[in-house]
Amino acid sequence: MDKRLLAAAIGSLFLTVALIPVAGGAPAPGTGSTSGLTPEEVAVLAGLDYDAAWNDLAYLAGLGEKVAGTAAERNAQQYVYDRLSAMAMDKVVMETFPVASWTHYGTTMKIVSNGYESVQITAYGDSYSIWGYEDHKMYTFGNENGGKTLVAPVVDCGLGTMDEFDAIGDLGGAIALIHRDDNIQGWNNVPAFEAYLHGASAALFYGYFAGADLPEGIKQDSVGGPLPILSISPISAMHIKDLMSAGPVILKVDGQVDMLSEKFAESVNVAAYMIGTTRPNEYVVISGHIDCWWAGANDDSSSIAAMLEFARLFSEARKAGTFVNERTLVFCSVGAEEEGGPQGTWYNWLVGSYEFVQAHPEIMNGLAMELNMDGVSFKKTSGRYWVENTWELNSFVYKSLVDLGVSGQVGFYNPIWSWTDAWSFAAKGGGSTVQVMWPAGFDPYYHTQVDDMPLQDPEPFDLVLRLYTLMAIRAAHALVIPLEFQYTVDWAAGYLKSEKMTVPSEAKNIDKDLAALKVLRAQAVAANSYAASLNAQYAAAKTPEEKAAIWEKANALNRVLIDARRIITPWTLGEGGLMGSWDVFLRSDQHAHDLGLVNSAITSLSRGQTANAIGALGSVYTMEWGKYFSRGAYLDTFNNMMNDFMYWGDDFDQQQAYVDVHWIYLGLKDGSLAGADALTALKSIRDNQLIPWFEADLDVQAWAWTASAGILDAGVP
């Protein structure tokens, strides 16, 4: 989960961001505006126990690293289950599901050439250490101690690009020291594979990306590769480089990691239910994930602590008679968010939430709203806090912020991105989702050992507790679920208008989609007007009989809104970009993007402008990182991205296909491929892949928008 992309998302052209005035600092914990709040909302908010929630955060962070499928994760979930079971819940369940598991018993490193000086180190998640067991079969990468110890010189390989490795030559078993920079490498499995191809015995990374290198931070992530992939801090790397300036540096690395495929390991989700009084088959879900790298105080012990407080708050308020949940509330702690997907698939995160969505079609068929959290206790260093939500909840989120008096501190944007469990509920389940919050300044600390209790702050924690309490109350009570699809339509229309400029030859086909969107927008506005009318009628109704009649109409409208949304959201969203599942956009946009660049390269080659063609090909998706690496390293990642069964490839086909222009780029660059041959190959890619793919995307979008408009038309008088 690479949340650096959130910052890029906020600055990108396709965001819908509320215009929110600047305000001062946050109120003290437990305080805030009550204007616009009902007496019930004020009463429930007053019952929040911030100290108890903070104590849960400290306890969960104190449990340390909790990786999918391990005893540590299971023990933490048992704690959550026991806490929820002690509350006045109607049902508490634990549900298991298969995962690929990674158990780290510790990795150590000493600088042999410097008096056996110790350096703090870890093995990257989903990667080998020096030895261990893989599906109960022993593996070794060492050259001493029966293969359990690696002693080798270290070589500075820069950013680990093909050119840098080629300049060094065969490493002959040396350890490759590589500066991780996701803005160049995409993900550090690519330079790790390049190191493997150049004879390295292990890849030793430091840093994260430009501007986010925490000097003392030791990064963790799910990486994977054919050799040990290790992580140290930038401070340690600079120290090793200083020593290297005086002569060879020899490292001694020991460590064990055991790995189990999904055939042998399982994770667990925990969910507690408060059954709704009048709409038990409609649901409001509040969720976070239990698994974490290192202590994971912010990411994501904070969210589970907040979820437990919501469960306590609402269950006690219901018991005391100060709150009635008309819809069913579900409090969910999911496992395997950071990693755990089946071996062989590129997309291996958000596993627990995906499994929950797949296991509970009844929830997704009646989901009013899902309130997800992923890191809610890190104080922003600048700007605002941010809420990420599906488009149709814009008005709902904004009104909640205004009524709490925090609209100056918190902004919101669309759509939901694929780095949190909210994506499973929205893109895979077709639900309406809110996700908080990823503030400016956390990236350097993200997935490092520094994400511990001293880093946490009560300001954002308090803010989320109040905001989600209010939104949960309103979602549980709303006569009509507050879904306004015109924002989705406007987002999609903006993309299509841009695509007309990128691929003008497809203008007629794009216009068909724009026409379908125009009809959908009209139906969405009509549904909004009808919902407002029902709300006004219900408020003005004088008798129980009048209220009951309006209630039934609202129930019918809710069914229509959910049915339309379950088509609109998953079939509108596309995913891919830099690397498989990295970016979120309109379904058709990846192929429009690449088609425009391939057309540009074709035009340039036709004019004999080889340099311009190389420049265009270097911006085709996968080439932003691919152009820096060898054919072998590129294909390893490219083929892995294409193997997207289960999570991406076999339901809504949101993971867009990629074209391979890497070999053409390299051939033109080194002169081994003639311009005429490159031109023929690019025309084939355009005519046989990109154009058919793009037109198929447009057809799917037109179908989805027409079908959902029909549902709204039939259900709105």
pLDDT at 322 over 60: yes
Say which residues have a Cβ less than 8 Å from residue 653's Cβ, sequence separation at least 6.
Answer: none
Confidence (pLDDT) at 646: 58
* 520 and 635 co-located in one domain: yes
* 189 and 310 co-located in one domain: no
Confidence (pLDDT) at 19: 28
Token digits of residue 577? 């970009």
* 219 and 325 co-located in one domain: no
pLDDT category at 344 given cuts 50, 70, 90 is confident
* 252 and 333 co-located in one domain: no
* 585 and 456 co-located in one domain: no
Token digits of residue 12? 């990108």
Confidence (pLDDT) at 343: 79
Q: Which of residues 477, 499, 529 is at a domain's end? A: 477
With respect to residue 483, please indicate whether it lies within any of the assigned structural domains: no
Say which residues have a Cβ less than 8 Å from residue 243's Cβ, sequence separation at least 6.
Answer: 111, 113, 114, 249
Query: Domain of 357: which CATH number?
Result: 3.40.630.10
> Which residue, among 383, 391, 385, has the nearest Cα to 15 in the 3D structure?
391
User: Residues 282-288: what's their mean pLDDT?
Assistant: 98
Q: What is the pLDDT of residues 552-580, one digit of tens each?
A: 999 999 999 999 999 999 999 999 999 98
* 324 and 231 co-located in one domain: no
Query: Domain of 248: which CATH number?
Result: 3.50.30.30
* 274 and 297 co-located in one domain: yes
User: What are the φ/ψ torsions at residue 474 (nearest 5 degrees)?
Assistant: -65, -40
Say which residues have a Cβ less than 8 Å from residue 250's Cβ, sequence separation at least 6.
Answer: 111, 112, 113, 151, 152, 153, 154
- Other CB atoms within a 10 A radius of the CB of residue 552 amount to 10
Token digits of residue 661? 């222009």
> Which residue, among 670, 39, 639, has the nearest Cα to 346 in the 3D structure?
639
* Mean pLDDT over each residue of the chain, to the nearest integer: 93
Q: For 402-416, b where at least 16 C-beta lie within 10 A, e where not — what string?
A: bbbbbbbbbbbbbbb
Q: What is the pLDDT of residues 417-472, one digit of tens each?
A: 999 999 999 999 999 999 997 788 999 999 999 999 999 999 999 999 999 999 99
Q: Which residue range(s) make up the domain with 187?
A: 102-258
User: Residues 257-274: what's their mean pLDDT?
Assistant: 97
User: What are the φ/ψ torsions at residue 349 (nearest 5 degrees)?
Assistant: -120, 175
Q: Which of residues 458, 477, 496 is at a domain's end? A: 477
Asked if the bond preceding 415 is cis, omega within 30° of 0, the reply is: yes
With respect to residue 482, please indicate whether it lies within any of the assigned structural domains: no
Token digits of residue 286? 């509040």
CB 471 within 8 A of CB 400: yes
* 288 and 409 co-located in one domain: yes
With respect to residue 447, please indicate whether it lies within any of the assigned structural domains: yes
* 121 and 210 co-located in one domain: yes
* 427 and 570 co-located in one domain: no
pLDDT at 385 over 90: yes
* 96 and 106 co-located in one domain: no
The tally of domains found in the chain comes to 3
With respect to residue 284, please indicate whether it lies within any of the assigned structural domains: yes
* 243 and 274 co-located in one domain: no
> Which residue, among 268, 277, 269, has the nearest Cα to 90 in the 3D structure?
277
From the number of C-beta atoms within 10 Å of its C-beta (0-12, 13-18, 19+), residue 303 rates as buried
pLDDT at 10 over 70: no
> Which residue, among 446, 439, 306, 462, has the nearest Cα to 372 in the 3D structure?
306
